[in-house]
Amino acid sequence: MESIYVPSLLKAPQKTEVIDFKQFIPELETLMPVRGTVSVAHEGTYLQISATLEAIVTLTCDRCLQQYNHRLNISPEEVIWLDVNAGRVDDLPLEQEVLSEELTESLHPEGHFDPQDWVYEQLCLALPHRKLCRQDCGGIDVETATPPIIDRRWAALQDLKGKLPSEPTR
């Protein structure tokens, strides 16, 4: 996917560009190409972005460490404000308090919007925080796990531990 020059959207029909794609995203490991549609509309002072995205990723279960496939079907929407000061870091203070309502994406009105980066970010945000292969996953079965390999250099210490009296009860 090629980046979109923001002023070119003003010349597009209905000031909107729609991108249908089916491709792998290099930073995201998927079993199949990511498929979807991204719509970018220029609304004067902001870009309205919406998409339908579909991908299958391989995750590792947090409990049993087995790999499993997880389907992502999402329809994210986002507003990106057009601001001439977007991306300027030269004159910013070293420390600055930021209010929660100021936490918005912004882009220079003469800049470029990269739909591939946006799709990557949306898919990463959609990944589950708790990765479980199934809801009733019991984790690693300790009984069938292989016994730990004992270093023979510690054998003398292990023998000494066996000869020590057990702790007295109180």
pTM of the predicted model as reported, rounded to 2 decimal places: 0.74
Residue type, 141: D
pLDDT of residue 160: 83
Q: Which residues contact 66 (CB under 8 A, 6 or more apart)?
A: 60, 133
pLDDT of residue 95: 73
144 vs 132: CA distance, rounded Å? 20
pLDDT of residue 62: 93
pLDDT of residue 65: 92
pLDDT of residue 163: 83
List, for residues 114-141, the tens digit of each pLDDT value: 999 999 999 999 999 999 999 898 888 7
91 vs 102: CA distance, rounded Å? 18
Record the tokens describing residue 136, joined without a space. 């009733």
pLDDT of residue 50: 97
pLDDT of residue 150: 72
> For the chain, which residues score pLDDT lower than 70?
86-93, 96, 98-103, 142-148, 167-170
Record the tokens describing residue 33, joined without a space. 């190409």
pLDDT of residue 91: 62
pLDDT of residue 100: 66
DSSP letters for 120-159: HHHHHHHS-SS--SSTT-----TTTSPPPPPPGGGHHHHH
